[in-house]
Structure 1
C-alpha cells in the first residue's frame, strides 16, 4: 500500500524519472525600449513633409467648394443669398472635412510604412504635421478661393455675384490629425509586435 510502481512512497516524488526530458527555462527577451534620439531627425522630416500637404489640400478645396450666388440689395454692398444658395455653407465645410480626413489617412499610413522608425516619436511628429496641414488648408484654402472669385468692378444694385466659399468653423482643422492618429493606432494594434516590426528580416 505504501509503494507505487515498486518504489517507496516517500521516494517517488523526490527521485526523478530517468526517462523524463528535463525542461529548460525559456530565455526572457528584453522588452524593446522607446527610441528617441535616433528618431528625432526622421520625426522632423515627417512633420515638415506632412505639413506641406496642406498646400495641395487648400488648392483642391478651393476648386471643389461651390460658391454662393448672392444678390446685391443696396448701394452699400449688402448681399442676400439666392434661394437654396445658403446650403453651400455646409457643402464647403463638408468638402473640406472629407479632404482633410483623406489627407490624415494618407499621412498615417505612409508614416506607418517607415518601418525602421515606428514608434511614439514619429507618431507625434505625424500628428503635428497633420495639424500643420489642417491649419494651412483652412488658411490658404480661403485665400485661394477669394482670389479665384475676386470681383473686379463694383456691382450695381440687383446684380448677382459669386461669393467665394468660406470655412466657417476652425474646429474642422482637427480632422486631419485625428484621422492620422486613428490610422496609426489601428495599424499598431493590428501589428501586435513588441517592437512594431522595426527590426527588419
Structure 2
C-alpha cells in the first residue's frame, strides 16, 4: 500500500520558492554589434559630413561682415566697434554647429535597429567632418559674397568677409551629437537600447 504521508523537507534545505529564484536562468546580455553596423556607420558618417556644406552656407548668410577703412599701403583698420563682429562670426558658427549636432544626435537615435556605440561613434565623427567642411565652405561662400572687385581708394570704407579665426568651433557639432545621443541612450534603460523592438 502506497504511503500517503506528506514529504517532510529536511531542515535547512531550500524550499521550492527559493530554489526557483536561485536556479532560474537569466537571458544573456546583448553584445555590441560591430560587423552588421559597420557599413551603415560609414554611410552615416559620410551623410552627416556632407551636411556641413549647407551649414557653411547658412553661416555665410548670417555672419556679419566687418567694416574697415583703407589706409596707406593697403592697411585695413576696422571702424569703431566693428572688430566685435569677429566674435559674432565665431559665436554664430558655434551655435549653428551645436544645434546641428543635437538634431543629428536625435535623428540618429531614431534609427532603432542600428542603435549602439558603433553608430554613435560614426555620428560624432561625421559631426566633426561636417564642422570642418562647414568652416571651409562657409568661408568660401562668404569670400565670394563680399568680394572686392575694384581696388579701393585710401579712406574708403569696405566690408571684409566674415571669417572663422579659431578652430575650437569644430568641437560644437560633435559635442552636441554625443550629448543628445548619450542622454537618449541613458534615458532608454534597456540593455539592447530597444534594437529588438525595431
Is TM more than 0.5 here? yes
Are 1:44 and 2:42 an aligned pair? yes
Q: Which residue of 1 aligns with 2:97?
A: 100
Residues 1:193 and 1:16: Cα distance change in structure 2 (over 3 Å): closer
Task: Compute the displacement of 1:189 (Å).
Answer: 0.5
Alignment partner of 1:155 is 2:152: yes
- CA-to-aligned-CA distance 1:44-78 (integer Å, 9 cap, x gap): 1110111011001000000000001110011x211
Q: Deviations over 1:95-120 (max 9, x none)?
A: 00000001111111111110000001
Distance in 1, Cα, partners of 2:32 & 2:66: 51
Q: Distance in 2 between matches of 1:15 and 1:158?
A: 100
Aligned equivalent of 1:3: none
* C-alpha distance in structure 1 between counterparts of 2:49 and 2:65, whole Å: 27
Q: Which residue of 2 aligns with 1:128?
A: 125
Cα offset, 1:149, TM superposition = 0.0
Given the alignment of the two structures, is residue 117 of structure 1 paired with residue 114 of structure 2, yes or no? Answer: yes
CA displacement 1:111-144 (0-9 Å, x = unmatched)? 1110000001101100110000000011111111
SS in 1 for 2:77: strand
Structure 2 unmatched ranges of 5 or more: 1-8
Structure-to-structure mapping, 1:57-96, within 5 angstroms: 57-74=55-72, 76-96=73-93
**Which whole-Å CA distance do the structure 2 matches of 1:15 and 1:64 have between them?**
77
1:12 CA displacement? 7.8
Question: Could you give the per-residue CA deviations for residues 16-71 of structure 1, whole angstroms, max 9, x where no partner exists?
Answer: 88xx8675233311010010010011101110111011001000000000001110
Once residues 168 and 113 of structure 2 are traced to their aligned partners in structure 1, the CA distance between those partners, rounded to angstroms, is 33
> What's the counterpart of residue 146 of structure 1?
143
2:168 aligned with 1:171: yes
Equivalenced residues, count: 188
Which runs of 5 or more residues in structure 1 are unaligned? 1-10
CA distance in 2, matches of 1:29, 1:106: 34
The structure whose Rg is larger is 1
The two structures have a TM-score, normalised by structure 2, of 0.90
